[in-house]
Amino acid sequence: MDVKKSKATVALMMMFMMLFLVNFPGCFSAASQQPINKKSTHLKPHNGFHSSFLFPVTGNVYPLGYYSISLSIGNPPKVFEFDIDTGSDLTWVQCDAPCTGCTKPIDHLYKPQKHILVSCEHPSCGVVHFPESPHCEKPDDQCDFEIDYVDHGSVLGVVVADVFSLRFMNGSLIHLPLTFGCAYDLKNPGPYDPPAAGVLGLGNGKASILSQLRSFDLTRNVLGHCLSGKGGGFLFLGDDLVPSGMSWMPVSANSKHYLSSPAEVLFDGKPTGIKDLKVVFDSGSSYTYFGFQVYEGVLNLVRESLTEKTLDTVQDKALPICWKGTKPFKSVHDVKNYFSTLTLKFKDTQNIQLELQPEAYLIVTEDGNACFGILNGTEAGLGDLNVIGDISLIGKMVVYDNEKQRIGWISADCNRLPLDSNYKEEIQRPYAANFGILEENHPKTQGSSETNVRVRNREL
């Protein structure tokens, strides 16, 4: 959900400054005030990094179905795993309030304390509910929230503010209070339960963790991720790792999502007649989704290109559309030569294109079949919205620049962290359900309910 910028109270700012000066005494030195140097053309960073955070990523598209990072919350700090999601804003974690529908053992849940509750009258509550207003009987009521996802999953909880422990790329550690959701009622009827403890909302709204860091003037409102097809990758907040030579295009300033310019589909480099696609970039979606007509058109093109090749259709539990060869495939590289490249060509840009090689829309399953990783978005509840998910972002550094309202990408080696002396050279591999785009076409009302009775306004 989009949000409106909150202004920290004097008490909060005093608390932050004390924590910040103790843990990061050099931040106001003259050296720290120098302009950021021009980015290099490669991904290995220069020294410094006084305003960026770098996180190793675990996960994969298949079989796990998600990418995540670990964050420390509380005092003493406790580590939680978060699904990285550029399709939503509010960060939330499963919490013991107690919890209904949580997927983690009770000792792996976040335990909220009453003194960290955000009140209904606090500006942060208005931010979470923007553009609506919070519905509270009394100003000092706790601030409740509800998030609905297009896969019909939903989350209920209460907004809290607790200390996050974050390390800058130069090694300096800070502890500061950030606002997030304590989720005590989860409903997700999809085939997978949420595997992580929560969701890290990285959308362009001001309830996101990144926007809050920007409001403290700690970093630029820029984030990027590099997801590896082998599993893992890295995520960064701030602009120190943004390389030169990227393809940039504007994103809509009036959308709650990272919505591109209209796109045209090319197949094997040739026009298809499929035009004016609304495209959203969403790391919270494992697969790519096209609206029904676009999906059918692209699938037919793929099928027609396979008529002379030794592939047969086969049923596989992993995805709806799959093919088998004369012998089981071991990886996408075994099957990629059977398929052609899809390209999204964006209008109102200087010939900006996103190439989807076969490995950007295919998976190979545990049964050795090749499956089509582009799904019917209309069937999934996305309407005419088209979503570029993780499968189509693998092997690229993708940067979301909220300062300049643009998105960019460049081919990159996502198997290794951009190094400095504070980070390990090898990226951890594996750890995968699908929280993604928030339901915006048909959102539920604050008090609506379906078949299950759900407790709202639960007091902690």
Q: 3-class secondary structure for 217-283?
A: CCCCCEEEEEECCCCCEEEEECCCCCCCCCEEEECCCCCCCCECCCEEEEECCEECCCCCEEEEECC
Q: What is the DSSP string of 132-198?
A: S----SSTTSB-EEEEEBTTS-EEEEEEEEEEEEEEBTTS-EEEEEEEEEEEEEEE--SSS---SSE
H-only helix segments in 55-163: 123-129
Q: Are 225 and 242 in contact (CB under 8 A)?
A: no
Catalytic choice (2, 83, 85, 148): 85
Q: Are 86 and 282 in contact (CB under 8 A)?
A: yes
Q: Are 285 and 87 in contact (CB under 8 A)?
A: yes
Find the length of the chain. 460
Strand partners, 313: 323
- The Cβ of residue 431 has, within 10 Å, a number of other Cβ atoms equal to 19
- The Cβ of residue 367 has, within 10 Å, a number of other Cβ atoms equal to 15
Distance CA(406)–CA(250), nearest Å, equals 4
- The Cβ of residue 450 has, within 10 Å, a number of other Cβ atoms equal to 10
Distance CA(183)–CA(94), nearest Å, equals 5
Q: Are 302 and 339 in contact (CB under 8 A)?
A: yes
CA torsion, ordered 443, 448, 451, 454, to nearest 10 deg? 110
Annotation marks residue 85 as catalytic: yes
Annotation marks residue 185 as catalytic: no
Residue written as token pair 């770098």? 54
- Between the two ends of the chain, the Cα-to-Cα distance in Å is 24
Phi then psi dihedrals of residue 311, to 5 deg: -120, 140
Return the structure tokens found at 326: 């004369």
Catalytic choice (2, 148, 162, 282): 282
The percent helix, strand, coil of the chain (3-state, each to 5) is 15, 30, 55
Indicate which residues carry an active-site annotation.
Answer: 85, 282
